[in-house]
Amino acid sequence: MTTSERTADRDDRTSAPRETPTVRLEVLDVTFAYESEPVLDGVTLEVGRGEVLGIVGPNGSGKSTLLRCLDRLLEPDSGAVFVDGDALDELRRTEIARRVGYVPQEERSAFPATVFDTILLGRKPHVGWRPTEEDRDVVAEVIDRLGLEAYTLRPIDELSGGQRQKVLIGRALVQEAPLLLFDEPTSSLDVRHQLEVLELIREQTTADRTAVITIHDLNLAARYCDRLAMLHEGRIAAAGDPDILTPETIRNVYGVDVTVTTHNGRKIVVPERALPTDDHRPH
Ligand SMILES: Nc1ncnc2c1ncn2[C@@H]1O[C@H](COP(=O)(O)OP(=O)(O)OP(=O)(O)O)[C@@H](O)[C@H]1O
């Protein structure tokens, strides 16, 4: 089906009684440029309820930019993003905040709040003029789950990079949005905390929650994501289950020779050598 046929099909569907969609997130032919620099070029993908989608791809391929388009922090130049069948550009900011939680890689504030208050901010879409006991309990539970109890009342600028990253993850979790977007959630974490955070993301991705993460480690991506989308120069080079991680695809996209094996039913990608730039002719 072409894009225009799909859009027409969607228009037909909007007039019919709404069923609970199994597709949580649909990205349709999204294009984006920073001023004159084109970054995303016709990105189309779908993520179901209860799925974790991993967006992989080389530095600068557009992963973070795509994620920001999914939370409407950036407005695509063309194309559309639908969450549970509703176009994001037709939703108010408060409604988007109820549906989509976004975890940036890093965030600096001129007036750093404590860990508790920063995470409590994630309850904003649910809170009236003042947080309730229940809001505070939800926050305390997430702090516990992230192992941050000892830092509850510390200003976040006194934490390590990895601890701050966990706080931002906590803030998105208490938001209880059905779609969670994580921009490199493991980038500042040691191997133990990488596994803990990815386990937590998996655990939080229940039948009624969907997660999209950007991630560089292909082995962790294969292990924790149901599906992968590989970006290359702003286009989807491959998408599907972790079987898309083939030596050929990785060579074309990253310019690296790898061996791909399986261990306990899991894909293992072993980098062998970076190809000289002249040998690497991306498609
Ligand atoms: N605010 C910005 N203004 C102008 N150009 C930007 C901006 N942010 C990113 N870019 C450019 O857009 C391109 C894609 O960047 P993006 O951060 O989306 O890539 P990425 O795949 O997430 O990279 P990385 O893996 O290094 O985090 C890059 O060429 C980058 O220089």
Ligand 1: residue whose CA is nearest its atom 3:
34
Ligand 1: residue whose CA is nearest its atom 28:
60
pLDDT at position 176? 85
Is this prediction's ipTM beyond 0.85?
yes
pLDDT at position 278? 61
DSSP string, 188-207: T--HHHHHHHHHHHHHH--T
Domain ranges in the chain? 3-245, 246-283
Ligand 1 pocket member 234 (CB < 6 A) = no
- Token pair listed for 173: 């979790």
Q: Which CATH superfamily is domain 3-245 in?
A: P-loop containing nucleotide triphosphate hydrolases (3.40.50.300)
21 — phi, psi (to 5°)?
A: -75, 150
Ligand 1: residue whose CA is nearest its atom 7:
34
Give the pTM.
Answer: 0.87
Exposure of 102 by Cβ count < 10 A (0-12 exposed, 13-18 middle, 19+ buried)?
buried
How far, in Å, from the CA of 61 to the mean position of ligand 1? Answer: 7
Ligand 1 pocket member 205 (CB < 6 A) = no
pLDDT at position 150? 96
Ligand 1 pocket member 64 (CB < 6 A) = yes
pLDDT at position 9? 46
Structure confidence by residue, pLDDT tens digits, 13-26 = 444 445 555 889 99
Residues of the chain predicted below pLDDT 50 = 1-17, 283
Radius of gyration, alpha carbons of the chain: 20
How far, in Å, from the CA of 278 to the mean position of ligand 1? Answer: 24
pLDDT at position 21? 56
Q: To the nearest 5 percent, what fractions of the chain are helix, strand and coil?
A: 40, 30, 35
